[in-house]
Every structure is written in C-alpha cells, then in structure tokens.
A = this chain, B = another copy of it.
Amino acid sequence: MNEQGKPTLAVVGATGAVGSVMLGILSTREDVWGRIKLVASARSAGTVLQVRGEDVTVEELTPEVFDGVDVAMFDVPDEISKEWAPVAAAHGAVVVDNSGAFRMDPEVPLVVPEVNPAQVANRPKGIISNPNCTTLTMMDALGALHAGWELTELVVSSYQAASGAGQPGVDRLRAEVSAVAGEDVGSRVGDVRRLIHDKVGDDSPFPAPLALNVVPWAGSLKDDGWSSEEIKVRDESRKILGIPDLKVSATCVRVPVVTTHSLVVHATFRKEITVDAARQALIEAPSVVVLDDPASSEWPTPADVVGLDPTFVGRMRQALDFPNTIELFVCGDNLRKGAALNTAQIAELVCAELMSKA
C-alpha cells in the first residue's frame, strides 16, 4: 500500500501480447492502484514501458520483486505461472493468474466479475484464476441468460484469432498474409502451403497455414482426440457458471483474424426461453452489447469490435427444432475481456477488498 492506502500492483509478463494490452487498460480505467511494478523475464528486464502516462522500467522476475506487492497479475505461460505464482503468494501478494496452471484447482476460484464476483474471496492459496479467452468470450452473455433460464446444454464452435497464440501468432499471420497477397492461390491443392513454405518458412505457432485457411486445432492433444482448448471450454464453463453437470461440446478452430474471438453458440435452457426475452436480458447486461438487425446487415464481426471491452452478440435466433434453445453469434476481444480486462477487473475486486480492510 502507498501513503494514500492504495495497493501496489505487479504486472508479471508486462512485455507480452496480453501484457501490452494490460498497460493500456491500466492507463484508462479508474486509477485504483498505488505503485505499479512491471515484471518480465531477465531478457526483457530494463525495458522502459509507459503505464498511466509514466515511464516504468521493467524489473526481472525474482522472489524479491514481490516484496511489498499487494496484487500480482500474471500473464505468462503455464509453466512460469506454476512456478512463480506460489512464490508471489508466499510473499503476500494476491495472485490473479491468466494461465491455465490453476484454473481447475478446487482451491483456486475461476472468476468472471459479471458472473461470480463473490468467488474472489475463496482463495486459500492466495491465487485467483482468470479463465481461458475462448470460454471468456461467451461467459458474460451466458451468465446473463443462465440467471434467467438455467443453462443445461452448450454446443459451441469457435473462430479464434491469431493473437490467442500471443505476439508470435500475430506476426506469423501477418507474414503469411503478405506472402499470399497478390498471388493466384487457394484454388489448387496445397498451393497456399507451398507458397508460405517458400516465402516465410514453416516455423509457426500454428500447426498449418492460417492465411486463406482455417485450422481446426488449438492447444494440445487431450484424451480421445479432444484439444486442450475444447476441454477448457467445457470444464471452465461449468466451474464459472456453477453448473457441474452442464453438457458441453466445443470445437475450436483458428481463423485468419488478428484479434477477437468469435463463437457460434447453440444454448439450451431448462426454462422456456424466447429470443425476444433473451435479447432483452442481454441488452440489460451491462457488459454485453447486442448488435442484431440482419435486415440492416447489423451483427458483430471481429474487425468491427476489436479493441472494445464489451461482449458483442448478434444473430440471435430461436432454434426451429430444439426446445428452449437459442442460437447466438458472439464476439469478444481475446486480449481484453478474454484476458487483460478480466484480469484487471478481478484485481480491482481484490483491490477494493484490501482497501475496505485497511
């Protein structure tokens, strides 16, 4: 805490794709923090970044960096979080972790502030997890609908952006798009793959070409052919919404979009639901914007909502053949609500709690 009683925040992973967005978010939201420390690997330490209009020098990730830190946000790979989040917690910081390391730990809450804010207090390990970006894309909207109609089943297909794989994902997509631009490719088998191989090589965070293509894979291989991303959508949706027996089938597909995930959602409820009532509930949800007038070509697309905070919902339809079922097309910025923004919101809940106790 500083002299005004404002908590000290550490941003671990400040130089990554999500970290960069986080600095922008911290610079524009209500200024609840005392000191903000920026932390990264030894390689990035010494870099000077701007946050809240001030230059801040990035410090190296060490145990001592957490001395005096009240809240530590982690935007780093799973294995770094697994090692360092407990270190930060042992130094007295409340950790808000955006990795997958702790999300399904029963002693770690998984929080979406619009859905289950009270869970931040249940943190015996001093760690709170931020959900996976794909799951987060639909949680605000589904939380609002579940509150009214009791969600029972979800069938989800994703259209996931390159930045879900971090800055290397964005750089790779841009290099591939430049490689295919102006070329007569995409009509003959493998010509996109050959051109990209020849022009930019095969070193990619994606397991297949992404420019002029879609790739039905995200994450690592789990049991029975499921990808880790698909299992996360199932497990995390159940935990956040508090529906242990929620039926979920997700298929995760990467698309050549820089940032903003889109989801097609087929959602079934226990109670009778109409599309008009569901639309009204989403209009009233503070963090959801409904763009849904196809007669005027009004629906969300990733390019039109990237960089914005809300969850955008369109293409709302009453399922014609499935009772109590609504179809939705949902877009959300995977680096903002899908990562940095939700992490910042969780940290702000902790901040308010610390200040109320101080």
Contact = CB atoms under 8 A, between A and B. Distances in A.
Nearest to A314: B216
A207 interface: yes
Interface residues of A, number: 78
A181 B295 CA distance: 31
B208 A301 contact: yes
B251 A329 contact: yes
Nearest to A185: B258
A321 interface: yes
A358 interface: no
A226 B177 contact: no
B216 A251 contact: no
Interface string A211-227: 11111110001001111
B209 A303 contact: yes
Contact of A253 (B264, B304, B317, B320): B264
A29 B299 CA distance: 43
Contacts of A157: 157, 251, 264
A165 to B, nearest CB: 14
A44 B243 CA distance: 61
A158 B285 CA distance: 28
Contact of A301 (B188, B213, B248, B259): B213
A337 to B, nearest CB: 14
Contact of A186 (B153, B217, B303): B303
B186 A258 contact: yes
